[in-house]
Amino acid sequence: MVAAALEAAHGWAQGTVRIHPVKTSGDRIQDRPLAEVGGKGLWTKELDLLLLQGETDLSVHSMKDVESVRPETLVVAAMLPRADVRDRLIGAATIDELSQGAVVGTSSPRRSAQLLRLRTDLQIVPIRGNVATRLTKLAQGEVDATFLAAAGLDRLGIEEGVPISPDVMLPAPAQAAIGAECRADDEATRGLLAAINHLPTCAAIGAERTFARAVGGSCHSPVAALAVQGGDERLWLRAEILSTDGSDRVAGEVRFTPGDEAPQALARELLDQAPPSIRGLFA
């Protein structure tokens, strides 16, 4: 998608942008939750090395999987228009219709905490692998239901599942956004990427990542955030942090002009309100 956008923006022939597939540690390690084996860096470290060595000109990321603190030598120079931010439930028509004590497969601390807050009876088990692997585990009865990002399913042409409103399950920071990152000192590539940068997406993702960075935490920390742009070009940022079992939750929202420090202020406000069960996860 990034290659096609660059070629269209600059009038280049199809195939001008060469794609170099990289199998990251996050792709290879499928038997354990990310938080147990190194966190989000597992999706970026191999790409970063190639980029910093000059073997590639840019890296393409699912922004949800990119650490909120990145090396100063790299910069996310473009984002494509954001896709559907919602999660999709696969295995039942609604969360309420999941059977009593249903087994739900997810390795996301956010989804786990949000689900247990809604349904204390649910059993959460870790599930990793690509979309096909997770759907196979569901079909084989290893779990009764699972959740997947609607954006990923849409990009694969998979229509299964029921979208869950952000009012019910607020998404992860930067969910459904694709970003292109290059070396900070590579002015030529930064200029090329500027032509495909979708400014509303860039502003929203920037706010969500700023909040995530300010609130701290790790891959063990249940955090959700969603920023949307209104007609007056101000951003509306909603965010929440939860305890591991979802029994405690602190949420807030703010409307602000892109670029001010409202996301950081919201992070401080939520942490100040948080009980020990939450604050200990965001030290």
User: In order of start, what are the domains of the chain with their CATH numbers?
Assistant: 1-80+177-197 (3.40.190.10), 87-164 (3.40.190.10), 198-283 (3.30.160.40)
Return the DSSP state at 43.
G
The residue from 65, 87, 144, 186 that is catalytic is 65
Q: Which residues contact 43 (CB under 8 A, 6 or more apart)?
A: 24, 25, 26, 61, 62, 65, 66
Give residue for tokens 């309100």: 273
Q: Are 182 and 190 in contact (CB under 8 A)?
A: yes
| pLDDT digits (tens), the chain, 283 positions | 999 999 999 999 999 999 999 887 656 555 555 555 555 567 688 899 999 999 999 999 999 989 889 999 999 999 999 999 999 999 999 999 999 999 999 999 999 999 999 999 999 999 877 888 899 999 999 999 999 999 999 999 999 999 999 999 999 999 999 999 999 999 999 999 999 999 999 999 999 999 999 999 887 899 999 999 987 889 999 999 999 999 999 999 999 999 899 999 999 999 999 999 999 999 6
β-bridge pairing 162-164 and 59-62: unpaired
Give residue for tokens 């990009």: 155
Tokens of residue 90, six digits? 């696969």
- The pLDDT assigned to 30 comes to 54
Q: What is the DSSP string of 232-243?
A: TS-EEEEEEEE-
CA angle, residues 55, 59, 60, in degrees to nearest 5 = 150
- The pLDDT assigned to 33 comes to 54
Residue 86 burial by CB count (10 A; 0-12/13-18/19+): exposed, middle or buried? buried
- The pLDDT assigned to 233 comes to 84
How far is Cα 162 from Cα 148, in angstroms, rounded to an integer?
A: 10
- The pLDDT assigned to 45 comes to 87
Q: Is 167 a catalytic residue?
A: no
Q: Are 244 and 222 in contact (CB under 8 A)?
A: yes
How far is Cα 62 from Cα 180, in angstroms, rounded to an integer?
A: 9
Q: Are 282 and 243 in contact (CB under 8 A)?
A: no
